[in-house]
Amino acid sequence: MTERLFQDDSYLKTTTATVVSAGPEGVVLDRTVFYARGGGQPGDTGVLRWPGGEMVVADAIKGEGAAILHVPAPDAALPPAGSVVEATIDWDRRHRLMRMHTTLHLLCSLIKGAAVTGGSVGADKSRLDFDLPNPPPKEEIEAALNALIAADHPVRIEWVDESVLDTDPGLVRTMSVQPPRGSGRLRLMRIGQGDGQGDGLVDLQPCGGTHVARTGEIGPMRVQKIENKGRQNRRITIVPG
């Protein structure tokens, strides 16, 4: 098992860790700050360093069980099993992904009552697809999105019992991806102060990704386009403003 330090603190940039195994498919550490690709968010890139060597990490993906594979760049040296390494992410790229991922949650909160049929987080461009025949005008969405960003709402991670999905299935907006079950715990991402719509809560959804601490950290965003991707499927693409 790889301890996922990013799940409780998205701002950790580096950590020391012990190499559990190393091969061309990837390096497994006992703990890591590298987010493993999933939920529409790319895996982190960065570097592993140890006395006498370093390995550029080209991607981070999920391995067997609860392991995370730190995928080496082509022809990169591998750290010896059992050695201690310093694992450091490309922070600039991660922070751009954090800003984008939180923005997609804000966008989701604005398109009420429509299920999310797909999505992708990118450092320079991101999108959400909605089961929605008639989306609001692009300018209206963009103005509302930037108002939520400028309001500097707090963003926090909470862990709850996974049974909440049975009592409140409406927490899940995505049609194609369901939160993993079986661990007994569910990770929620909350934007806003309140506990319910209308009392300061902006968004509350299961999410395993990394996020900023406040919406004001995101900066201006622009709705680049709204596309028809099917009879009732509308794709909204956002880019930094």
Task: Please name every residue paired with 157 in a beta bridge, in sequence order, or none if there are none.
Answer: 189
pLDDT in tens, 195-240: 655 568 999 999 999 999 999 999 999 999 999 988 889 999 999 9
Q: What DSSP character marks residue 180?
A: -
What is the phi/psi pair of residue 215, to 5°?
-65, -25
Q: Which of 199, 168, 202, 162 is nearest to 184 (CA)?
A: 162
The pLDDT assigned to 71 comes to 98
Q: What angle do CA 175, 214, 169 make, to 5 degrees?
A: 25
**Contact call for residues 94 and 35 (beta carbons, < 8 A):** yes
Q: Report the percentage of the chain scoring pLDDT > 70.
A: 90
User: Cβ(33)–Cβ(89) under 8 Å?
Assistant: yes
Structural domains in the chain, CATH included, are: 3-89 (2.40.30.130), 94-240 (3.30.980.10)
Q: How far is CA 38 from CA 41, 104, 217, in A?
A: 5, 15, 23
Name the strands in the sheet holding 155-161, side by side, starting at the edge strand that comes first in the sequence.
Answer: 155-161, 185-192, 201-206
